[in-house]
Amino acid sequence: MHGCRSLNARFLAFALSLGAATAAATDNCPNLEPEVVRLLQAMSSNAQQVSYSGVVTLQRGGDMQVIEMSHGVQNGEETEVISRLTGQDARVERSGHSAGCMHPGHQLLQASAALGSGVCGLSTSYRFRVAPGDRIAGRAALRLRAEPLDMYRFGYVFEIDRDTALMLKSTTLAADQRVLEQFQFASIEMQASPVAEAATAHQAQHPHPHEPPAQEHGLPWEVVWLPEGFVPTDAVPQRSLRKSYTDGLASFSVFLEPLARAIKPGEGLERQGSTVAYTRGLQLQGRPVLVTVLGEIPTNTARMVADAVRLR
C-alpha cells in the first residue's frame, strides 16, 4: 500500500540537518542549550533529504542481527528497503512516501503548535548533552545524549554524522546504564538528494490494520494516565482496538481485546532489547478484557499504563 506511513525509527535512521533551527526557536527554549535545540529541530525537519545505503548491526542483549538498508528520494518521494542478512530471511519495502510527510514524533521535535511546547517540552522529560562522538563506519560523529528525568522512559545516545548529519549509531540505556539495544552502521555510502521545488508538508495518516470502519465488537475505552510528555500519535475511534503514544523519542501502543469469558489472574511479560510486551487479563465494569502494552518503555511503565485502562 502506498501512503504517508512510518516504520520503526530504530531501523530508519534519522537524518539531521544542523542548520535547520532559527534563532527565535533557540530563544524560546531557556531550559535547552542552543546547540541542543538546533540538533533537535534538525532531527525532524530534513530527515528525508539524504539518500544512503549501508549495512547495520542491531544488538539486543545476546542477539545480534545484520541488516542491509537503503533510502532514496526522487521527485519528492521516499523509497526504503530493509533486508535482514542473518537469521530468518525478512525484507520490508516502502515506496510512494512523500518527503514532506509529517509524523507525530516530527511534530514534537518541530515545536508543533498542535502539540504545544514542542522542542522545549522535551526538556521536561529528558536532559540533553552534546559532545564529540566516536568514529562510526569510518565517519566522524557528534554525540547527542538524552538522559531521562524520570523512571518512566529510557535514555538514548545518538551518534550523528558531522558532514551529512545522518544518525550513524543509536544506543538505548536502562536506568542502571545497561545497554538494552544498539544499532549502528558498519558501512555506509550516502549522497545528498535534491529537494523537490514544490515540496509541501502534510499530516501522516496511520491506518489501523485489521480493524473494520465500524467497531461493532469493540468497547469504548481510554487510558486515564500517561507518563508526562506522552501524547497520542493519531486520532482513533473510542472503540478502536489500539491507541498509540509518543514523547518524541519513545513510543508505545495499548491494545484492548474484549473476551468471551474471564481468564485466570496474572500477567505476561516478554522483552526484546528496549521493547516490552506486557499483557494482563482484567475485569472492567464486569467485562473481561485482555490489555496489552507494547513499546519502548520500562516494564513498570507498561504495567502502570495497563492499570490506567478504563471503559468509558
**Domain CATH number, residue 100:** 2.50.20.10
Residue 158 lies in a domain: yes
Q: How many separate domains does the chain show? A: 2
261 and 183 co-located in one domain: no
The residue segments making up the domain with residue 95 are 23-202
Q: Which residues pair with 222 in a beta bridge?
A: 310
Considering 175, 202, 229, which residue would you say is the last residue of a domain? 202
Residue 99 lies in a domain: yes
Q: 19 vs 101, which has greater pLDDT? A: 101
184 and 290 co-located in one domain: no
222 and 76 co-located in one domain: no
171 and 36 co-located in one domain: yes
pLDDT tens sequence across 3-57: 443 334 444 433 333 333 333 344 467 778 888 877 776 665 555 677 889 999 9
182 and 236 co-located in one domain: no
Side-chain half-sphere of 303: how many Cα atoms within 13 Å? 9
247 and 184 co-located in one domain: no
Return the minimum-mean-pLDDT range out of 3-12, 185-194, 220-229. 3-12
pLDDT tens sequence across 248-293: 889 999 999 999 898 888 899 999 999 999 999 999 999 999 999 9
Distance (Å, whole) CA 293 – CA 155: 19
Residue 122: phi and psi, rounded to 5, are -65, -25
One-letter identity of residue 5: R
Quote the pLDDT of residue 263.
Answer: 86
Q: Which residues pair with 190 in a beta bridge?
A: 52
Residue 46 lies in a domain: yes
Residue 61: phi and psi, rounded to 5, are 60, -125
Residue 198 lies in a domain: yes
CB atoms under 10 Å from CB of 7, counted, come to: 12
Going by pLDDT thresholds of 50, 70 and 90, the confidence category of residue 87 is confident
Going by pLDDT thresholds of 50, 70 and 90, the confidence category of residue 309 is very high
Cell of 182: 544498539
**Domain CATH number, residue 251:** 3.30.200.100
287 and 185 co-located in one domain: no
Considering 173, 202, 231, which residue would you say is the last residue of a domain? 202
Residue 18 lies in a domain: no
Quote the pLDDT of residue 205.
Answer: 52
Going by pLDDT thresholds of 50, 70 and 90, the confidence category of residue 200 is very low
Quote the pLDDT of residue 245.
Answer: 93
Residue 5 lies in a domain: no
Quote the pLDDT of residue 97.
Answer: 59
Helices (H), 83-168: 104-109, 118-122
50 and 177 co-located in one domain: yes
177 and 258 co-located in one domain: no
DSSP summary character for residue 241: S
